[in-house]
Chains A and B, each alone.
Chain A
Amino acid sequence: MARLSPEVTALDTMPNSAATPGPTTLGEPTIDWDLSIRPVRELNQFLHDLAHNARPEMPHVRILHPNGRHNLAVGLQVPANIEILGHAGYFIAGMNQAAHITVDGNVGWSVAENMMSGIVRVKGCASECAGASAHGGLLVIEGDASSRCGISLKGGQIVVGGSVGHLSAFMAQAGTMVVCGDAGAALGDSLYEAVIYVRGSIHSLGADAREEPMQTDDLKTVADLLQRAAISADPQTFRRVASARQLYHWHAEAQY
């Protein structure tokens, strides 16, 4: 399902592999939640209540028949292990804290928006605004991500196995985005301190974004993120894009 870039392979996309640290399923009770029978509201309430019900292990929740439904597993606060088995809609895993959420399919807009921590993995492709404004955590898109991936990023980490669309990392403030494929137009427009690494072609850079030489720390950052994302690619083949910091202060010529 995932469309990885040439020479990029998913090593292991199972949520509990050594390469993707997350909560163990050993001894966890597995709960199957069938969305064709029980509604999204009940699912989210159940997942939220996990924060209040003290239990030795977090359950492993498998969400069946998502069928493109929106707002699944939003606002989680516990290190639960959630698998969404199929395609899902908008805002999946929104504002996630601590949970490890895997989507075995594609997702709509704004997956893991405003994520604070935890890991969200999409085995397929993501539509627009993936990881928008994420403050922390790791978002892995094994396939492509559409436009505005990582927009307004505030410290989260994003690894995309495929390509990203236009205006990705727009106004990204902090954090890292690794793109194993190509980047669309206006990459990193009005960047602040976030850093983007791209392996393929860059259609165009946005205002105040510039390419910079890869340093040792960059190679290490990319290698670490690829390993955590369980995606195999050579860090040496990536290029670094960061802010030229020319828009940090007002200039007459910058205001057109």
Chain B
Amino acid sequence: MANEESSSFNRHVMDYIHRASETGLYDIRGLGAKRNLPTFDDLVFLTASASRYPLEGYREKCVTTTLLGTRFAKKPLELQIPITIAGMSFGSLSANVKDAVGRAATACGTSTTTGDGGMTREERKSSQTLVYQCLPSRYGFNPDDLRQADAIELVIGQGAKPGGGGMLLGQKVNARVAKMRTLPEGIDQRSACRHPDWVGPDDLTIKLQELREITDWQVPIYIKMGATRVKDDVKLAVKAGADVVVIDGMQGGTAATQQVFIEHAGIPTLAALPLAVEALEEMDVFGEVQLIISGGIRSGADVAKALALGADAVAVGQGTLMALGCNRETWLGPDGPHDARADYEKLGTAPGFCHHCHTGQCPVGITTQDPVLETRLNPEEGARRLRNYLQVLTMELTTLARACGKSNVHHLEREDLVALTIEAAAMARVPLAGTDWIPGHRHF
């Protein structure tokens, strides 16, 4: 017992208390929840066998085309794949990254999304399909950019910090970022957590109509929310007139927020998705209002499981950054790879553990506004890597879909899944493997 570590007050907890007592400051960091949560990994597919027949993996076609915004918009989006790029701001990301992301998404026939800093010319130019976010801060929000958007995403909240506003620490608020956001250069910027011009769901309905009127009902309007009271929130979004609902689970990433928010607010993506689907079904708009799920989507298997549970598409944020080189040991210059470990060390971290996006000192040049660090991410190379990643996700998705006998990835269904844990079975509302038991729902 002499050397036994306490479960309640383990070394991590002690470290937290020591730092808190030393500094009087809470921790701010980037990326998403690091705690152990039920995820899509806890589900597996019941692929074809004698009772169902599969499609040939390399020969038979499996459709991935995805329509978003068919409810009211005159010009719904037709994407080539059901994998979109989540909203990430210029400010948190460099202009090079925005450019790279736009190029890759365009090559793969999918959409990118602006963020809490307005639309940059780089991303508009490189993104064939660009979703323009209308955020509580309204930084840089303007009617000219609104009219050149292919869709509008009204952001009520995000999974990493539902109920909280954005944050951009002073080291990232350079002259260009400050000008776009109408803020003094170098300040620690705190975005609003509530929209300035509407408060409740009834106002939201009129706000959506305003955006539709301004854009002459041409483009789809999404409503994005962090996953908390998902069922009520989705119903309100549908009632307000959303074409697309985006639910961001608690594993969703951020460029900077309080650690306490990241780890202790919201519900896991796995639990959120079935609730959103149920809300759409109860409103009788499943299929009419499309559903995008995000928050910790990493692989083609995650995409396939999300679609099987009822999502129309997914949005990928942190996976995008990692494809670009986040947490890699090296960054790629024109003369080849360069070791970045010393730069990670300066931040007090190491490749594989970094979550220091808030510092603006990203060792691989992704979440930075530093003119030198920014050059570490070449937009062409970044685009190549992200394109490859999106391609792998899509191939994995179609592999699983074909094995389930589906000629269209949107034909994947809940019946194709079982859960490996009781928690996942209860959250995803699929049976525990080897049983017909869905805890809390069937045979309980």
Contacts and interface: CB of A to CB of B under 8 A. Distances in A.
A155 interface: yes
A151 to B, nearest CB: 4
B215 interface: yes
A36 B295 CA distance: 47
Given A110-B197, A152-B138, A171-B192, A248 B213 contact: no
Interface string B151-195: 000000000000000000110000000000111100110101000
B19 to A, nearest CB: 12
B26 interface: yes
Contacts of A55: none
Nearest to A193: B184
A15 interface: no
Interface residues of B, number: 36
A135 B182 contact: yes
Contact of A148 (B147, B196, B210): B196
B196 A174 contact: no
Contacts of A71: 206, 209-210, 213
Given A110-B197, A114-B138, A155-B182, A91 B206 contact: yes
Contacts of B217: 41
Given A114-B143, A135-B142, A152-B196, A255 B184 contact: no
Interface in A156-210: 170-171, 173-174, 190, 192-193
Nearest to A174: B182
B197 A74 contact: no
A249 B197 CA distance: 26
B207 A91 contact: yes
A174 B170 CA distance: 18
A249 B213 CA distance: 39
Contact of B146 (A41, A91, A95, A148): A95
A173 B182 contact: yes
Q: Binding site of A, secondary structure by majority: helix, strand, loop or mixed?
A: loop
A252 interface: yes
B269 interface: no
B9 interface: no
Contacts of A132: 196-197
Contacts of A170: 196
Given A95-B146, A109-B203, A155-B182, A41 B188 contact: no
Nearest to B258: A255
A41 B138 contact: no
Interface string B409-440: 00000000000000000000000000000000
B213 A75 contact: yes
B142 to A, nearest CB: 6
B143 A116 contact: yes
Given A89-B206, A173-B183, A249-B187, A75 B143 contact: yes
A104 interface: no
A75 B192 contact: no
A109 B198 contact: yes
Interface string B358-381: 000000000000000000000000
Contacts of A91: 197, 206-207, 210
Nearest to B167: A250
B257 interface: no
Most buried by A among B184, B190, B210: B210
B24 interface: yes
B26 A255 contact: yes
Given A70-B210, A152-B138, A110 B188 contact: no
A35 to B, nearest CB: 13
B242 to A, nearest CB: 17
A250 B203 CA distance: 33
Contacts of B24: 252
B145 to A, nearest CB: 11
Contacts of A110: 197-198, 207
A154 B197 CA distance: 14
Interface in B196-219: 196-199, 203, 206-207, 209-210, 213-217
Nearest to A73: B213
Given A95-B143, A248-B188, A74 B203 contact: no
A154 B142 CA distance: 11
A133 interface: yes
Nearest to B137: A152
B286 interface: no
A44 interface: yes
Contacts of A250: 25, 169, 188
A45 B213 CA distance: 8
Contacts of B197: 91, 109-110, 113-114, 129, 132-133, 151
Nearest to A110: B197
A40 interface: yes
A97 interface: yes
Nearest to B169: A250
A70 to B, nearest CB: 5
Contacts of B187: 192, 248-249
A95 B206 contact: no
Interface in A77-133: 77, 89-91, 94-95, 97, 109-110, 113-114, 116, 128-129, 132-133
Given A94-B214, A154-B182, A171-B196, 19 more contacts: A44-B216, A71-B206, A74-B210, A91-B210, A109-B197, A109-B203, A109-B206, A110-B197, A113-B196, A114-B138, A116-B142, A129-B196, A129-B197, A151-B196, A173-B181, A174-B182, A192-B183, A247-B190, A248-B184
Interface of B: 23-26, 137-138, 141-144, 146-147, 169-170, 181-184, 187-188, 190, 192, 196-199, 203, 206-207, 209-210, 213-217
24 contacts: A41-B213, A41-B217, A44-B213, A45-B216, A48-B216, A71-B209, A74-B214, A75-B143, A90-B210, A95-B142, A97-B143, A114-B141, A116-B142, A128-B199, A129-B196, A133-B138, A133-B196, A151-B197, A152-B196, A192-B183, A247-B190, A248-B184, A248-B188, A252-B24
Interface of A: 40-41, 44-45, 48, 70-71, 74-75, 77, 89-91, 94-95, 97, 109-110, 113-114, 116, 128-129, 132-133, 135, 148, 151-152, 154-155, 170-171, 173-174, 190, 192-193, 247-250, 252, 255
